[in-house]
Amino acid sequence: MCGLFGCWSAAPIPLSPVLEALHGRGPDDQGEAIWSFSGGWLQLAHTRLAIQDLTAAGHQPMSSADRRFSIVFNGEIYNAPELRQALEREGVRFCSHSDTEVILEGFGLWGDAIWPRLNGIFAVAVVDVYRREITLARDRFGVKPLLWHRHEHSFAFGSELSALKAAGIPSRPRLDQVALEAFWQWGAVPAPRTLVEGIEVFPPGCVARWQIGQHFSRCQIEPYTSLPVDQLRPADLSYDDAVIACRDALGIAVSRQLLADVPVGAFLSGGLDSAAIVALMRQGSSTIPDTFSLGFAPADRGHRVVDERPLARLVAQQCRTHHHELVIGVEEAVAAIPDFCQALDQPSVDGFNTFLVARAAHRHGLRVALSGLGGDELLAGYPVFQHAWRFRQDPFAWGAWQAHLPWRLQQRLGWQAARFRRGSVEALAAHRRLHQADRWDGNPLGLTSTGWLTPPEQQLDLITQLSRLEIRGYMAHTLLRDSDAVTMHQGLELRVPFLDQDLVDLLLRLPSCYKIRAGCNKPLLIDALGDALPAAIVQAPKRGFELPFGAWLSVMPAPPLDAAVLGLPWITRIQSARRQFEIRGSRYHGWWQWHVLSRWLADWPELLQDVN
């Protein structure tokens, strides 16, 4: 895992500030490269977190033997050994055993056919000096971040907003008002927008190529992969066979993601997904991994906050891991929030729990950790799946139930009942109580049925559609983005076995009836791995992981900015959020949201110059 940056400009820019901004992502090594072409300069920069091949042979930017291709790469390729063998059969000779060189040589031999072959997480830029081309590619689900800025006379990309900011890109940054409104309504900024106008999120599962000298409007973006739409029926695959297939595929995924030249640990909550990952880690390796779980001081636990350490401890004991428990009190939590907000890169209401666990793992010396992220989306683990299954035969009841979903749940799902599924952004805006005067240029967030579900996907059953909405909504825009930001800020690589390419294709094709059982959370996973887990984990109901923000916010210092910096209607909104929290501590969401946003804006004062 690493940090990357690249730009095309009329004159070279200093890269030292960029490398400093990306240092947390790559504390082990850094490098840069520069080329002069007619009309401008092309530059690459890279900071490295060494995971595979810890020697200098893994240095980036990395160039091919003939100097035609140069690459900067952030991520891990889990099937790199198999690809290396295939390339060696074609006569390729390697100078390292890093997966970076596998991508570099694979691109030189196969071109864009390399991207669908990669089973891993990645953001990549390749320069073809002979053809004067830059190619960008990103992994299937957007686990690794990639941002880009395209202007008439310049072009830049990077792992973080902070890197582009350090490079002075854009030259006059402006706050994206639509993205700001989206953050307030959703708790995170939905891609492709960011809070900085003109900087966009490069789409996952896509490849783009730009030839030096062309106008950037001619930079074509093409998908190289898609989710399967051929759904199996029970007649095609029995439940017992599906259980075996699930166990085998998940086992292979975990085994693949143990690939590293450094120790691999795990984040262990009291949930079924992380427990299954840890159990398979122990089955697939003789090495005893370090596991980490998070708990809270009894006096600080607030409404609906459950200490999951006892369940995590049972898993650690049965799997015989080196287990570490982190107990957070109010003083430590409050002291950590400024660093958390800086780590986020973009503000979000989520991710603080991952930040705390990652910090503990980093202090212990861990560099790679596995997570159970993605299990709920693929195995119908969220309560909404159970409700949808219950009402699937009664469209009237289903529509009525949707209309009364808690707004926070609708926010997390990223869609609003039947009206949203018909593609009505106006209905969504009305539901979110957006002000009519706010800028909604056409359909800026892409919230339409055609934007989230392809026509073939709209013909799938409801549970399968929900899985796709979760994957492309809350998981992509919040969970993956936050998890990567807060872990890489501390030089820790987070891997997500449930998003293994082969496993995802299997689970999305399985009949939905295999994933739902009355009174049972994730029956397919339980039947596949239940005998390897403590009974208490198997029998525990699905519980959300909520932090005691009510207790923490009550003693936190005031946010660094006043809502007046954003003008109306923000003054009214923030005042209302604070009153709601003061009346009842469990209504902390809006007040916490302003704390995070205020701290982020305080680090970007230039964005506020043209707001009022």
Give per-residue pLDDT as tens, 106-129. 999 999 999 999 999 999 999 999
| pLDDT score recorded for residue 399 | 54
pLDDT class of 301 with cuts at 50, 70, 90:
low
Calculate the average pLDDT of the chain: 86
Average pLDDT over residues 324-338: 92
Using an 8 Å Cβ cutoff, are 52 and 97 in contact? yes
CA–CA distance, 418 with 434 (Å, rounded to integer)? 19
What integer is the mean pLDDT of 443-450? 34
Structural domains of the chain in order of their starting residue, each with its CATH number: 2-223 (3.60.20.10), 239-378+474-548 (3.40.50.620), 393-460 (no CATH), 557-608 (no CATH)
Asked whether 62 and 104 are in contact (CB, 8 A), the reply is: yes
| Residue 351 Cα distances to 93, 440, 466, 482, 590, angstroms | 42, 28, 23, 5, 16
| Per-residue pLDDT tens over the stretch 200-236 | 999 999 999 998 877 776 788 999 999 999 999 999 9
Is pLDDT at 440 greater than 90 in this prediction?
A: no
Over the stretch 138-162, which tens digit does the pLDDT of each residue have? 999 999 999 999 887 778 999 999 9
The pLDDT score that the predictor gives to residue 446 is 34
289-323: string of b/e by CB count within 10 Å (b at 16+)? Answer: bbbbbbbbbeebbbeebebbbebbbbbbebbebeb
Q: Round to whole Å and give the CA distance between 40 and 6.
A: 13
For residue range 62-83, list pLDDT tens digits in order. 999 899 999 999 999 999 999 9
For residues 160-182, give the mean pLDDT: 93
Q: Identify which of 610, 572, 605 has the alpha carbon closest to the alpha carbon of residue 184.
A: 572
CA dihedral 233, 239, 241, 245 (to 10 degrees): 90
Q: Which of 283-297, 395-409, 590-604 bottoms out in mean pLDDT, i.e. has the lowest?
A: 395-409
Confidence check: pLDDT of 430 > 50: no
Confidence (pLDDT) at 305: 63
Q: Read off the pLDDT band of 424 (50, 70, 90).
A: very low
Q: What is the pLDDT of residue 217?
A: 66
Q: How do beta strands 62-63 and 220-223 pair? A: unpaired
pLDDT at position 415, please? 42
Q: What is the pLDDT of residues 543-556, one digit of tens each?
A: 666 788 888 999 99
* pLDDT tens digits along 457-504: 878 888 888 888 889 888 998 999 999 999 999 999 999 999 999 999
Q: What is the pLDDT of residue 77?
A: 97
Question: To the nearest whole percent, how much of the chain has pLDDT over 70?
Answer: 88
SS3 content of the chain, % helix, strand, coil (to 5): 45, 15, 40
What are the helix and strand counts (H, E) for the chain?
25, 17
Q: Give how far the C-alpha of residue 491 lies from the chain's centroid of Cα atoms, to the nearest Å.
A: 16
**pLDDT > 80? residue 425:** no
